């Protein structure tokens, strides 16, 4: 099974979230860099960071390294909402779901497809959640609509896409990497609501350092709308 990939466009993704029942007071914005001055310009609060990165051997090796360290440390939290991605090109939707589902203490979802999906899957395993997503027509159809709304022509469903979305959130005093291609959340160390943005920048730099010649990274923040 394959979907048309979402473009890394905060305006389109924000419209998608609102369609799914996220209140209009929340939305996505571009991040233009990781320098403190640029981070300070973001609307507050920042609830999640979404990173789009290229899938290449260097970053795939880093993915394996993170999974191995996490498995050894056992530092992950079972309180996090995490799901496995079973649909090709669904990573944008999975990253959005991870961002929203782990911030329900601040985001009061309206009745809609996402609220129902999260209620139906809250007690399921990561794999069961991912399997459930493949059968939810409301989210599937919304993804397809907004995948066509980017500034560039949408690729075909079966076209190989070499980029991947992941999300970062703070939970219970740690910053976590939530990725549908990883079997569990990755704990990247201590964090707090106050330091989350700086901590997320640190983790994103670690991704970028794995391939310093690569320029195709893109960052968005889930924030309060100005």
Q: Distances in Å between the alpha carbon of 32 and those of 1, 35, 59?
A: 34, 9, 21
Specify which residues 191 forms β-bridges with. Answer: none
pLDDT tens per residue across all 226 residues of the chain: 788 889 999 999 999 999 999 999 999 999 999 999 999 999 999 999 999 999 999 999 999 999 999 988 876 667 899 999 999 999 999 999 999 999 999 999 999 999 999 999 999 999 999 999 999 999 999 999 998 876 555 444 454 558 999 999 999 999 999 999 999 999 999 999 999 999 999 999 999 999 999 888 999 999 998 6
Q: What is the pLDDT of residue 5?
A: 87
Q: Which of 71, 38, 58, 10 is nearest to 222 (CA)?
A: 10
How far apart (Å, rounded) are the C-alpha atoms in residues 175 and 195?
A: 10
Q: What is the pLDDT of residue 226?
A: 67
Say which residues have a Cβ less than 8 Å from residue 114's Cβ, sequence separation at least 6.
17, 20, 21, 22, 97, 100, 139
How far apart (Å, rounded) are the C-alpha atoms in residues 174 and 19?
A: 30
10-224 belongs to which CATH class? Answer: alpha beta
How far apart (Å, rounded) are the C-alpha atoms in residues 141 and 138?
A: 5
Q: Which of 19, 169, 24 is nearest to 98 (CA)?
A: 169
How far apart (Å, rounded) are the C-alpha atoms in residues 81 and 104?
A: 10
Q: Which residues are catalytic?
A: 91, 164
Angle of CA points 71, 52, 28, to nearest 5°: 110
3-state secondary structure of 15: helix
């Amino acid at each position: 099974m394959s979907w048309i990939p979402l473009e890394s466009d905060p305006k389109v993704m924000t419209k998608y979230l609102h369609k799914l029942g996220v209140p209009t007071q929340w939305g996505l914005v571009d991040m233009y860099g990781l320098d403190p001055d640029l981070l300070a310009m973001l609307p507050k609060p920042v609830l999640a960071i979404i990173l789009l990165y290229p899938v290449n051997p260097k970053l795939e090796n880093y993915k394996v390294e993170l999974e191995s360290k996490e498995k050894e440390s056992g530092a992950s939290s079972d309180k996090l909402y995490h799901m496995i991605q079973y649909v090709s090109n669904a990573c944008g939707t999975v990253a959005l779901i991870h961002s929203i589902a782990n911030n329900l203490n601040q985001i009061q979802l309206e009745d809609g497809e996402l609220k129902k999906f999260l209620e139906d899957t809250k007690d399921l395993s990561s794999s069961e959640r991912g399997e459930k997503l493949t059968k939810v027509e409301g989210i599937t159809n919304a993804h397809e609509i907004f995948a066509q709304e980017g500034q560039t022509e949408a690729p075909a469903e079966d076209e190989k896409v070499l980029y991947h979305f992941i999300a970062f959130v703070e939970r219970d005093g740690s910053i976590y990497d939530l990725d549908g291609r990883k079997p569990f959340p990755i704990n990247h160390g201590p964090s707090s609501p106050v330091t989350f943005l700086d901590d997320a920048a640190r983790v994103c730099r670690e991704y970028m350092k794995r391939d310093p010649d690569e320029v195709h990274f893109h960052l968005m923040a889930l924030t309060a709308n100005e």
